[in-house]
A and B are shown apart, each in its own frame.
Chain A
Amino acid sequence: MTPALRVQGVSHAFGKTQALRDVSLTVQPGRFVALLGVNGAGKSTLFSLVTRLYDNVSGTIEVCGHDVRRQPGPALARMGVVFQSRSLDMSLTIRQNLRYHAALQGIGRREAIKRGDWVLERVGLLDKGASKVATLSGGQVRRAEIARALMHDPTLLLLDEATVGLDLRSRADVVDTVRALAQGGEVGILWATHLFDEVRSDDDVVLLHKGEVLATDTASEIAGDSTLSDRFLELTGVDEREIAA
């Protein structure tokens, strides 16, 4: 099966600062892959490379078999993204935001309306479609962003710290919504987070630290006899307070 995402040997530097070093990972359709690392590990840089906000000059990044450098159009067309910073237009309603995004993906108005209802139902916001984004709670905005990322039926869904700033209940809602998507079997999910409690034992995990992949396996395999967070501390040598932040 063609992976939803294949990153092979990718490095990236900002001037003299090496942000990523020889990073490789794979996300299969139907899998929830947690990209786990503390702040500054390089998660957002990797997301920027996959989404072509930055150019990858070393290694290869393929989305559904399309190299993002050589075939950015087909690669981006199969990718849905929820960025770390909020990126919905606050002055528009959810439905208007969805329609705008659909247009940017080449989806016409009629189909956008139909798909809009479908994705809103999946994230539990069908009754909020006519609400302005500015009136929504943090968790609802995040779910609306997930709905938007699903509008063009992507095979790969990227979420960068999607639960940051949310209360516990909203966090759980968002994580559950995303996991349910993976269970459908068609969407591969790369979930970047620094929160260990969002990772389940059977999830695929990529441990990223200071731009390098330290481990790739299921969470339970990486943890071994210990807990995932303890194992992470052991591998990275970071202070316990850093992962609690």
Chain B
Amino acid sequence: MTPNRLGWQGHITALGGIVWREAIRFAQQRERFLSALVRPLVWLFIFAAGFRSVLGLSITPPYETYILYEVYVTPGLIAMIQLFNGMQSSLSMVYDRETGAMRTLLVSPYPRWFVLVSKLVAGVAVSILQVYAFLAIAWFWEIRPPPIGYLTLLPALVLSGLMLGAIGLLLSSTIKQLENFAGVMNFVIFPMFFASSALYPLWRLQESSELLYDICLFNPFTYAVELIRFALYAQVNWPAVGIVIAVTVAFLGAAIYAYDPSKGLVGRRRG
């Protein structure tokens, strides 16, 4: 290999290759795309419709008027798509490790952190496709944020996708076998989703349980939801931006550490 392949052009080629492979796999797995789409739509069509009459919502930023529950819950469902996608990507990493395909990735001459970040970026790209497909269908369900919101949403999706993917990546490094992953899905996805501002405003939650309110404030998923909620209305929730970036850096750093053969968990295991 000529040394220039290890330069920045080679890095871009490697990143492109990883994204390309993820895109092909995604295109081949129609069921995955369909279930990624159906899940939030079921919540939107059935759950939100049922709750519409139960939950009254006051006017809180970023909303400037009274909104339907469906409108409130949409950012939470967008974040849910990314949460599932992040966990699915890490699930595929555990699977790749079991089958040996992961080794192909790890013997790449590029730094391991770069390979892992590329994998993360590929997963985020797929989740963004899913989100826009969901929003396109939701448009017919009267979920119509301002047109500029579709554009300002994009950077927020990148940030929240990276955070949720980084959490999944760290999980994948600590899980030895696929069977253990089912438990993690239950212990990570559902608590993260329910103990957040995805389904109900935090002030509402505070009225019923101070403890649950505190848990929601501690949950990084809450900030991903709020980041998306504001971005969808062309606004920036700066505290959410800060927290999402900080959590991403922390989890990604820990995942890179865990995958480093000289320090982490993966290299120490036998087999």
Q: Which of A3-11, A78-86, A235-243 contacts B (4 or more CB under 8 A)?
A: A78-86
| Min distance, Cβ B27 to any Cβ of chain A, angstroms | 10
Q: Please provide the chain B residues from 112 to 135 with a CB less than 8 Å away from any CB of chain A in the complex.
A: 115
Most buried by B among A88, A96, A104: A104
Tell which of A53, A81, A101, A105 touches B1, judged by Cβ atoms closer than 8 Å.
Answer: A105
Query: Which chain A residues lie closer than 8 Å to B99 at the CB level?
Result: 85-87
Q: Is B110 a contact partner of A81 (Cβ separation < 8 A)? A: no
Does A196 reach chain B (CB closer than 8 Å)?
no
Q: Is B103 a contact partner of A53 (Cβ separation < 8 A)? A: yes
Q: Is B6 a contact partner of A51 (Cβ separation < 8 A)? A: no
Query: Which chain A residues lie closer than 8 Å to B108 at the CB level?
Result: 76, 104-105
Does B157 reach chain A (CB closer than 8 Å)?
no
Tell which of A45, A73, A79, A89 touches B101, judged by Cβ atoms closer than 8 Å.
Answer: A89
Q: Which secondary structure characterizes the binding site on chain B?
A: helix
Q: Known pairs A55-B267, A85-B103, A105-B10. 20 more at Cβ < 8 A?
A: A14-B268, A45-B270, A52-B107, A53-B106, A53-B107, A55-B263, A69-B262, A76-B108, A87-B103, A87-B104, A89-B21, A89-B25, A96-B21, A100-B20, A103-B20, A104-B108, A105-B108, A106-B11, A106-B110, A152-B5
Does B9 reach chain A (CB closer than 8 Å)?
yes
* A interface with B by C-beta (< 8 Å): 14, 19, 45, 51-55, 57, 69, 72-79, 81, 83-89, 91-92, 96, 99-108, 152-154
Q: Which secondary structure characterizes the binding site on chain A?
A: loop
Complex formed: what's the CA distance from A83 to B109 in Å?
A: 16
Complex formed: what's the CA distance from A83 to B6 in Å?
A: 23
Complex formed: what's the CA distance from A45 to B268 in Å?
A: 11
Query: Which chain A residues lie closer than 8 Å to B10 at the CB level?
Result: 105-106
Smallest Cβ-Cβ distance to A76: which chain B residue:
B109
Interface string of B91-111 (1 = CB under 8 A from A): 000000001110111111111
Does B209 reach chain A (CB closer than 8 Å)?
no
Q: Is B267 a contact partner of A103 (Cβ separation < 8 A)? A: no
Tell which of B1, B16, B18, B103 touches A77, judged by Cβ atoms closer than 8 Å.
Answer: B1
Complex formed: what's the CA distance from A45 to B99 in Å?
A: 17
Complex formed: what's the CA distance from A84 to B99 in Å?
A: 11
Question: Which 6 pairs show the lowest CB-CB distances between chains A and B?
Answer: A103-B17, A106-B10, A85-B100, A106-B5, A55-B262, A77-B109
Most buried by A among B1, B11, B21: B1
Smallest Cβ-Cβ distance to B4: which chain A residue:
A106
| Min distance, Cβ B24 to any Cβ of chain A, angstroms | 7
Q: Is B18 a contact partner of A96 (Cβ separation < 8 A)? A: no
Tell which of A53, A75, A96 touches B261, judged by Cβ atoms closer than 8 Å.
Answer: A53
Known A100-B21, A105-B5, A105-B109: A83·B14 in contact at CB below 8 Å? no
Smallest Cβ-Cβ distance to A148: which chain B residue:
B104
Q: Is A107 a contact partner of B270 (Cβ separation < 8 A)? A: no
Known A76-B107, A89-B101: A100·B261 in contact at CB below 8 Å? no
Does B147 reach chain A (CB closer than 8 Å)?
no
Does B183 reach chain A (CB closer than 8 Å)?
no
Complex formed: what's the CA distance from A105 to B107 in Å?
A: 9
